[in-house]
């Protein structure tokens, strides 16, 4: 089964406080986006499309392998993935959508997602258990609900889809509706989403503390 990877890398990284787009920030001397692309290729994806900030296209091209396709991202993650999806070749049977912000995702996670798609799942996400009690609050900060944490999962990327399912779900999503991940887009279209085991090393780099932890991981502290 042929698979195309999309990397959402068009974010600004304001929360990281960096002097460049987050995906170009170095980790172990290599930009986050280059780690994310390598994970997809090493895990079994055939080709990769990366959504980048329009103003930084040349800087991204300079740090990515030949053959990686770049597209101009949008103002939101949903818009960036939509733009990348339009550049995915029609022949691709599966599409895996990954965040540049998860640079140390092991290729084995990609392989697990691909295996689930090969087994017939229309959509699959890598997940981890929730170890903290997790609550909902109202606007005033008062706890309104505490779901049984045994039923909760933290969702990571790459998220895998049948290409047709993902394209149809994005086509059906009204302009202006912004969702935080792609599984939410296909669920909005009524498609069931399966799960495979995620990995703690696929943690998201959002603030400077996360980047410091990732540097330790690269330096060889057991993940
Ligand atoms: O902001 P957040 O960390 O949730 O972004 C997740 C991923 O989405 C990042 O890899 C970021 O580069 C990407 N993104 C994007 N286009 C945007 C905003 C975020 O590709 N407009």
Q: What residues are in contact with ligand 1 under a 6 Å CB criterion?
A: 8-11, 22-23, 51, 73-77, 80, 99-101, 206
Are 102 and 204 in contact by the 8 Å Cβ rule? The answer is yes
Which domains, from first to last, does the chain contain? 3-218 (3.90.550.10)
Contact of 191 with 168, CB cutoff 8 Å: no
Query: How far apart are the C-alpha atoms of 113 and 159, rounded to whole Å?
Result: 7
| Two tokens, residue 50 | 């990366």
Q: 3-state DSSP call for residue 69?
A: strand
Q: What is the pLDDT of residue 12?
A: 86
Nearest residue to 164 via CA among 145, 133, 140, 191 = 191
* pLDDT, mean of residues 119-123: 97
C-alpha 1: how far from chain center: 21
Residue 212, pLDDT above cutoff 70: yes
Nearest CA to ligand 1 atom 4: 180
Task: Say how far apart CA 122 and CA 39 lie, in whole Å.
Answer: 22
- Ligand 1 center to 33 CA (angstroms): 11
The arithmetic mean of pLDDT across residues 119-132, rounded, is 97
């Amino acid at each position: 089964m042929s698979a195309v990877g999309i990397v959402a890398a068009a974010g600004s990284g304001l929360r990281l406080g960096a002097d460049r787009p987050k995906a170009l920030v170095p980790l172990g001397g290599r930009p986050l986006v280059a780690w994310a692309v390598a994970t997809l290729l090493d895990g079994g994806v055939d080709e990769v499309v990366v959504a980048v900030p329009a103003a930084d296209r040349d800087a991204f091209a300079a740090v990515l392998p030949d053959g990686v396709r770049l597209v101009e991202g949008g103002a939101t993650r949903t818009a960036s993935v939509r733009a990348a999806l339009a550049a995915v070749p029609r022949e691709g049977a599966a599409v895996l959508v990954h965040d540049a912000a998860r640079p140390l995702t092991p290729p084995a996670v990609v392989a697990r997602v691909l295996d689930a798609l090969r087994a017939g799942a229309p959509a699959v996400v890598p997940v981890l258990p929730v170890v903290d009690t997790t609550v909902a609050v109202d606007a005033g900060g008062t706890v309104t609900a505490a779901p049984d944490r045994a039923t909760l999962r933290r969702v990571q990327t790459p998220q895998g889809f049948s290409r047709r399912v993902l394209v149809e779900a994005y086509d059906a999503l009204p302009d202006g509706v912004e969702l935080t991940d792609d599984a939410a887009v296909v669920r909005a279209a009524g498609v069931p989403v399966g799960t495979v085991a995620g990995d703690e090393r696929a943690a998201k780099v959002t603030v400077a503390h996360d980047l410091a932890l990732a540097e330790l991981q690269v330096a060889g502290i057991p993940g």
